[in-house]
A and B are shown apart, each in its own frame.
Chain A
Amino acid sequence: MNANDFLSALNDADEELIWQAGHSGKHAESEAVWKRPKAVVRALLAAALILALSATVYGVGELIGIWNDRWLQTPASDPLQVVREAILRQVEKDYTISVTVEEILADDLETQKLLAWEPDSVRSMLNGYGAKPKALEGKQPEEVKAVYARYSVVYDHEKTFYRDGTLYQYFYLVRNADGNWEIFEVTDAQVLAPSAGTENVAPSDCEHLTDASEEAPSAPLRSAERDYSAAIQCVTEMIQKWEAFEDVSRVRIDEAAFDPERTEAALQRLRGSTLAAGNGWTEAYLKTHIAAITVTYTYWQDSSPTTETATYWLLQNPVTGEWSNSDITGIMDSAE
């Protein structure tokens, strides 16, 4: 007998056990799936309440304006300029107090992903791709561009419930019939840092129309300025779930904290790596969406306690804001 025989025989293992293993260890995921409908219901109820209150204050006509909100843009030969202007023109909307562009970059990896959108192929179905935007139909690679933008915005919260602060967003552009670039789609704006205490107050020293990108070099948010409590919670909850394993009777978290040194080390390691390129993790994304959490925990097996200290590396989903150690922990672990 050899390994080949064993691995072939393993193929005929009990189907229920195979199915169970393939769906094991994902307690957090399944819980999230079940919690989501409740969260959606709560969000819808909250939105309905805000709508009802807003309609009372502003009237229905104003609200239609909110729902028909579009980016104001002027197609031009420079795609970065189109995005910059679209962001700055947010100030023309009566609910915007101020807006400052911090960084605008053409993102080649994101552009490649955009170009690889193949909704009709089996491969796309397997990857769960959605419908291809009509704007991309018949476009050549040189006619499509994805642009990353980071900007700070202050909204008047008596007029809108949009979240403000330092945000980032991807803008997708195509060349139109005149050869000019125009925005056809944007991703949801993600909050990198919420504005603190600026709601409803026009800042006295803040220009209403500012473009800081010329004067100041790109300044990534430093780790110390960010709140990593959600990442820490993600790790501690993951470890606490070991209590569900039959051979573990108890788990205690002794200490868990954001680890700036290991975060920086991870960033250095991933910068320009094939791993980052293969996953489409851009420099801009990694700067703000990676965290190392070092945790000390004790777990009991057969009444015998074991205390260990481990570091988990997490990436934040820019769309949902959720942290996960998918893909990255094992790689960083082996590099340590």
Chain B
Amino acid sequence: MEDKHILELYWERNPTAIDQTVKQHGKYCASIARNILENEADVEECVNDALLAAWSSIPPKRPENLGAYLGKLTRSKAIDRWRALRREKRGGSAVSLAWEEIEEVIPDGTGLEDAVLKQELVQAVRRFLASLSETERNVFLCRYWYFEEISTLCTRFGFTRSKVHSMLHRTRNKLKRFLQKEDLL
């Protein structure tokens, strides 16, 4: 079933929308959650939470790309759950490592509380992504949005491990310079 028909089901408040969403985008959402959470039961719960959030937010929302919208919901839910778990135990998962890599260029400072500053950062991040080449951007997003393992990136792009590492290193440095230029660091 096409996404536009699934969206119609949401707007009609037809529960079949959930089944169709799982069929169409379930694997994609689960793969995002699996990159962040280690436990399969957590993954399942996280996807269920994302589906519930989609059910609660559509309508009024009508996302242009349903898959990406669900992906965002899943990532957000998974990060929340990961944070809760991290309080208990900090492990060497892909998300922990990705977090540490970002901390190398963005030193731990006071978290942004101001909604306006947060929105400025979102806009800056969008501009930064637009400034990257397609390959750099895809590798960067796969690592820091999808939290994919380096080995997965090697497979996905056909790069050696050293090539992935050096590309990410260069992009993180670009990010640092970009944020400094924007007075965000």
Which residue numbers of A lie inside 8 Å of B, CB to CB?
Answer: 1-22, 24-26, 122-123, 125-128, 238-239, 241-242, 245-247, 308, 310, 324-331, 333-334
Contact = CB atoms under 8 A, between A and B. Distances in A.
Given A3-B103, A11-B76, A24 B156 contact: yes
Given A10-B144, A26-B156, A21 B149 contact: no
Nearest to B121: A9
A128 B133 CA distance: 34
Interface residues of B, number: 69
Given A24-B156, A326-B155, A330-B155, A122 B161 contact: no
Residue among A8, A18, A125, A328 with the highest chain B CB neighbour number at 10 A: A18
A310 B158 CA distance: 11
Contacts of B157: 24-25
Given A1-B112, A2-B110, A24-B142, A14 B118 contact: no
Contact of A21 (B107, B125, B138, B150): B138
A1 B121 contact: yes
Contacts of A19: 65, 67-68, 71
A126 to B, nearest CB: 4
Nearest to A29: B156
14 contacts: A1-B110, A7-B144, A11-B72, A13-B126, A16-B65, A19-B65, A19-B67, A19-B68, A126-B22, A126-B44, A128-B27, A246-B133, A246-B135, A329-B161
Interface in B147-185: 149-158, 160-161, 179, 184-185
A7 B99 contact: yes
Contact of A15 (B47, B69, B122, B161): B69
B58 interface: no
Contacts of B99: 3, 7
A23 to B, nearest CB: 9
Contacts of A326: 155
Contacts of A246: 133-135
A12 B122 CA distance: 6
Contacts of A14: 126, 129
Contacts, number: 170
Interface of B: 22-23, 26-30, 32, 40, 43-44, 47-48, 63-65, 67-69, 71-72, 75-76, 79, 98-99, 102-103, 106-112, 117-118, 121-122, 124-126, 129, 133-135, 137-138, 140-142, 144-146, 149-158, 160-161, 179, 184-185
Nearest to B28: A22
B102 A7 contact: yes
Contacts of A127: 27, 30
> 6 tightest A-B contacts by CB?
A330-B151, A21-B141, A15-B68, A238-B158, A24-B138, A25-B156
A13 B64 contact: no
B48 A122 contact: yes
Contacts of B111: 1-2, 4-5
B145 to A, nearest CB: 6
A3 B26 contact: no
A24 B132 CA distance: 15
Contacts of A16: 65, 68
B108 A22 contact: no
A254 B134 CA distance: 27
A31 to B, nearest CB: 13
Most A CB contacts (10 A, CB to CB) among B30, B75, B79, B141 go to B141
Contacts of A4: 111
